[in-house]
């Protein structure tokens, strides 16, 4: 989960989102995909807090964030020497910043 919050650290939202996500996930059934649920929560939190670009399509952006994090995690497991954790954080940070209004 650390990677999902990296992009919000600079915006001062990291702690708020971590606490809210904990409450949110405690109310969800574990049959749901936790990674998808976390991605949706991040995207919808951006919308709710009015931090996202106005034209943001929440469903598409949730899928994109989910695919990005899932893919990076897979690459990290398969080739840890090729993709250091700092690089993964940078990629996710850039993606999240791209969802936000300037």
pLDDT in tens, 8-46: 555 555 565 556 556 555 555 544 578 888 899 999 999
User: What distance in Å separates the CA atoms of residue 87 and residue 93, rounded to the nearest whole number?
Assistant: 10
d(CA 25, CA 49): 19
pTM: 0.69
More confidently predicted of 14 and 87? 87
**Crossing angle of helices 14-26 and 2-9, rounded to 10°:** 140
């Amino acid at each position: 989960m650390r990677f999902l919050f990296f992009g919000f650290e600079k915006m001062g939202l990291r702690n708020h989102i971590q606490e809210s996500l904990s409450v949110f996930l405690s109310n969800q059934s574990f049959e749901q995909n936790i990674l998808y649920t976390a991605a949706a929560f991040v995207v919808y939190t951006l919308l709710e807090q009015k931090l996202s670009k106005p034209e943001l399509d929440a469903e598409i952006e949730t899928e994109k964030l989910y695919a990005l994090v899932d893919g990076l995690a897979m690459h990290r497991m398969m080739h840890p020497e090729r993709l250091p954790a700092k690089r993964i954080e940078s990629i996710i940070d850039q993606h999240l910043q791209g969802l936000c209004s300037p």
